[in-house]
Chain A
Amino acid sequence: MKLFKAPYVVQKEILDNMQTSDLFWLSFVSKKIKNVIKSSQATRFKSIRSIVYDYVDQDQRIIYIPSESGRDVIMVTFVIYKGKENHFLLNKYDKKIDFKCLSCDCPSIMSFNFCNKESVYKSIHYNFLDFFGDCVEYQWIINRYTSFFPQVKKLSLVLDFWRYEDNKAAKQELENVLSSSPLMTHIKLSYLGSAETLSPESKFYKAGSVEIRQGNHIFPANLRHFQGRQALLRCNICETLHLIELINRWKYGQAFQKLEYLKIIIDSHNVPENQVLNSIGIKYIDATKKPPAHTLPKLYFDFRLKPNTDPIISHSYVVRKTDNRVASVSIHRNELSFGVWDKTEEEFLSIVE
C-alpha cells in the first residue's frame, strides 16, 4: 500500500482519522509526510490549546494533549539508571537523541539515561515546537517531589502542591519551590494551613491562575495580594466581611487589576447573599432582560474538568470606579462567582438582550 499513490484528498482523509499523537510519530517517517501532515492538519493543530508534561512520579512523565473527551497521550517517558538501550532516534535539526523503545507495540513508551534528562526533554520539546507550532501552550507540571524542569523557551510551569501536615513547614516548602522557579501559569494548592499567610512578595500571587483548596478559613490571606487572572478558592469557613472586602478592593481599583474570574465555594455555610450584595453597591440589569453569560477558557485546562470557566449568568453586577469596567456577580447557596468583562458599563448594557 503506497500512501503517496493516493490523491491528496485521500491522504488528508486518512490523516483526519488519525489521533494527533499518532500523527506526531508518523511525522518521523519522512520530511515529505511531515509536510503533508502540517499542511493538511493545520486547522486541527490550531485548535490544540495545550500540551501537558504531567508527572507520574519522580522518574516518570506522561505527555498528552488534553481535550474535553479526555487526553491523547503522545508519550510516556521515564528515566533509567542502568541497562542497555535499544534506540529510537528523535531528531531535532542536526541533533539526535537516543531513546530506548521499550515495546515494539507501543513506541510511545520511552526511557533514557538519567544523565540525558535535560537534553532529552529539550529535544522532545523542540520537536513539539517544530511540529505543533508555538501557539500551543506547553505546560510542565511540577510538585513537591519533582521540581525539575528543562530550561527551554515556550514552557509554562504549573505547580501542584499539596500537604496535609505541619503548616509552617508546608508554607516554607511552598516558598522554596516558588522562589527557585520562574513564574507559574497555574498553582493548585491544597491544604495550606489557615494560620499561615504567604509573604506579600511571594511568587504565589503572581501566578496566572490559582486553585486553592483548604479546610479552614484563609481568606483573604491567600488571595489578598493576588495579581493573576483566574482564581478558585474552596474552603470550609469564610467570613462574610472578607468576601465584601475582596470585591470592594477590586471595585475601588486597590487590587486585582488583572482579575478575570473568581469563584469561592464555602463548604460549611451559604454565602449571605443580601448582606454581600448590599455592601458592594450592586447594580441590576432590568429583570425582564436576559443577562449575558460570562465564561473564559481556563488558563490551565485539566482534562478531567471543563476547559472553560463555569458560565456566570446574573442580573447583578458591579462597576469598577477607576475605569468603569463591569463584573457580573452571582451568589448561589455556598458559591460566589465573579466574572470581569472587558467592557464598560455602557458597552455591557448594550449586549444585554
Chain B
Amino acid sequence: MSSPAARRERALLLMGLPALLLLGVLFAWPVLRLLSMSVEDGSLEHLQRAVLDDLYLAVLFDSLKIAGFVTVICLVIAYPLAFWLSRASKIGLALGMFALLLPFWTSVLVRTYAWMVLLGRSGVINRMLRDWGLIESPLPLLHNLGGVLIGMVHVLLPYMVLPIYAALLRIDPDLPRAAEGLGAPRSAIFRRVILPLSLPGVAAGCALVFVLSLGFFITPALLGGGRVIMIAMLIEQQVRELLDWPFAAALSVVLLAVTLAIYAAINRLTKGARLAS
C-alpha cells in the first residue's frame, strides 16, 4: 500500500506529464540540439569566432547597450506610472489598465508598422511639424537608434509597469500611515518605506525587460532600417542567407549565456540589496 501522499504525488505527476513531454520534445530538445551544433564538428572554432571576432563582438555590445537603454528608459517611465496607478481612483485605474493592456496585447507587428507610419520621413510627425512650420526638412526619426528605442520601449513598457504596480499594491497601506504617524514627511515615507518595499517589483521588471529586449528581432529589423543590428538579427541572417548553421548555433550559445547570466545577476543583486536596506 502506498501512502496517500505518495499517491497524490503520482497523480500530480501524471497531470503534468503531457505538458512536460511537450516542453521536452519541442522546447528543450530543439534548443539543446541547436546549441550542440556549435561544436558539431568537434572544434571550438565557431564559438571562438562568435566571441573573439570584433565584428560580432560589436553587435553583442550594441545589443547589450540597446537592452540597457531600453531598461533604463522603461524604468524611468514605468515607476511614476505604476505609482500613479497604485493610487488612482477606480475610473483612473480602469482607463490606465486599458491604455496599458490594449497595446500590450496588440501584435508587435501592428505597433511597429504604426511607428513607421508615425516616424517616417514623410510620416505623420514630420508632416505635422512641417505643416506647422517648425522644421524645414524632415527629422530623421526612423532607421536609427532613436526609432528602435521608441519602438522597443513601447513594446516592453507594460512588462516594467505591471511588476512594479503589483509590488506597490502589496505594500500594506498601514505602513506609510505608520511612518507618517511616527513623524516622517512625504519624501521620507517614499524613500524609506515605499521605495525599498517596491524594489522586488523593480528588479523583476528590469530583469524581464532587459532579457526580452536582448533577444528582440522584429522591432529593430523594421525600425532600424539596417543601421541597427542586434544579435537576434545576426542569427537569423546566418541561417537564412548564409546557411551557416554551426555559426548561428555559436551565436545562439552566446546570446543564451549572456541572457541567463544577466537574468541571474539582476535577481541576485536585488536580493542582496533588499537584505542590506
**A and B assemble together:** no
Where the two chains meet, the residues of B that have a C-beta atom closer than 8 Å to any C-beta of A are: none
Where the two chains meet, the residues of A that have a C-beta atom closer than 8 Å to any C-beta of B are: none
